[in-house]
Amino acid sequence: MSSELNLILLGPPGAGKGTQAERLTFDFNLPYIATGNILRGAVRDETALGKEAKSYMAKGELVPDSVITGVILEALNSADARDGFLLDGFPRTLPQADALALGLQDADRRLTAVILIDVPDEEVQRRLSGRRVSVKTGRVYHVEFDPPKHEGRCDIDGSRLVQRDDDKPETIAKRLAVYHAETEPLTEYYDARGLLRRFDGTRAPTEVHDHIRATIATLRLEDEL
The pLDDT tens digits of the residues spanning 116-163 come to: 999 999 999 999 999 999 999 999 999 999 999 999 999 999 999 999
Binding residues: 14-19, 35, 40, 61-63, 89-92, 96, 131, 140-141, 164, 175, 203
Largest CA distance in the chain: 58
d(CA 50, CA 31): 20
Binding residues for ATP: 14-19, 131, 140-141, 203
State the average pLDDT over residues 56-82. 87
List the CATH code of the domain at 5-119+183-224. 3.40.50.300
Binding residues for AMP: 35, 40, 61-63, 89-92, 96, 164, 175
Is the pLDDT assigned to residue 1 strictly greater than 60?
Answer: no
Is the pLDDT assigned to residue 6 strictly greater than 70?
Answer: yes
Does 92 participate in catalysis according to the annotation?
yes
Does 109 participate in catalysis according to the annotation?
no
Higher pLDDT, 60 or 106: 106
Q: Where are the domains of the chain?
A: 5-119+183-224, 121-167
What single string gives the DSSP state of each residue in 23-55? HHHHHHT--EEEHHHHHHHHHHTT-HHHHHHHH
For residue range 81-100, what is the model confidence (pLDDT) as tens digits?
A: 999 999 998 999 999 999 99
Active-site option among 175, 198, 213, 220 = 175
pLDDT at 225: 62
Active-site option among 127, 131, 132, 197 = 131
Model's pTM, two decimal places?
0.86
pLDDT at 200: 97
